[in-house]
Amino acid sequence: MVDGRTRRRTDTRQRLYEAAMDLIAEHGFSATTVEDIALRAGVAKGTVYYNFPSKNALFEELLRHGVGLLTADFRAAAGGLAPPEAVLALIRAELAYIERHRSFAQLLLSEMWRTNREWHQTLQLLRGEAVDVIAQVLRRGVDEGHFDAALDVRMAAAALFGVCLVVAVDWLVFEPDRSLADVQGALITVIRARVGI
């Protein structure tokens, strides 16, 4: 099933994914050259074009791959839990994902709300799937009386997704030495805190 050829090719693609992720997160899509990606992945430029039809396509598959993993993590984290615990689990899952895929998180944050790009549509769709998992949990929480009935579920889901992203990337950029557990704790305290407004 997993013959040597396929494994080899998968490896190459994986290395290209990672290289592209790091570079695009650092410099942005336009400022990252295909040659740089190939160099960082340790392959020839031709190999990039053997494996992907274009720079855009590489990036789009990258997005699909990365967001797909996040959505899967979300589903696994929330599955079978009561809404309050599920929300906590989702926060933990998002932070853990961001720690594991730092570059990708930065990339998402930079490109998520950028319109007028070829892959904008794709990204919106993918994001929608991830945020939907959160929204479903919140909706169930409202229905079952755990959460305030006045809650705008869609907005709350987007907000929750967004805060985690922003806080986590902030942490990675400014306080990389702080532990994930600590950040997680502080963030949950912030979300929990009655700010009394």
Contacting residues toward DNA, per CB under 7 A: 3-6, 8-9, 11-12, 32-35, 42-47, 49-51, 54-56
Report how far apart, in Å, the C-alpha atoms of 90 and of each of 7, 80, 144 are: 33, 12, 18
180 binds a second copy (CB under 8 A): no
5 binds a second copy (CB under 8 A): no
Which of 51, 109, 122, 136: binder of a second copy (CB under 8 A)?
A: 109
Q: Among 8-16, 26-34, 55-63, 64-72, which window interacts with a second copy (CB under 8 A)?
A: 26-34
Least distance from C-beta 21 to DNA, angstroms?
Answer: 15
Least distance from C-beta 16 to a second copy, angstroms?
Answer: 20
27 binds a second copy (CB under 8 A): yes
Q: Are 187 and 91 in contact (CB under 8 A)?
A: yes
Q: Which two tokens stand for residue 145?
A: 């009386």
Q: Among 38-46, 47-55, 58-66, 147-155, which window interacts with a second copy (CB under 8 A)?
A: 147-155
- The binder of 43, among DNA, a second copy, none, by C-beta within 5 to 8 A per type, is DNA
Give residue 168's identity as a one-letter amino acid code: A
Report how far apart, in Å, the C-alpha atoms of 170 and of each of 92, 176, 186, 189 are: 16, 9, 13, 17
Q: Among 2-10, 55-63, 67-75, 149-157, which window interacts with a second copy (CB under 8 A)?
A: 149-157
DSSP symbols for 7-58: HHHHHHHHHHHHHHHHHHHHH-TTTS-HHHHHHHHTS-HHHHHHH-S-HHHH
DSSP symbols for 160-186: HHHHHHHHHHHHHHH-TTS-HHHHHHH
Which of 76, 113, 143, 181: binder of a second copy (CB under 8 A)?
A: 113
- The binder of 114, among a second copy, DNA, none, by C-beta within 5 to 8 A per type, is a second copy
Which of 31, 44, 57, 181: binder of a second copy (CB under 8 A)?
A: 31
Spatial distance between the Cα atoms of 77 and 10, rounded to a whole number of angstroms: 27
80 binds a second copy (CB under 8 A): no
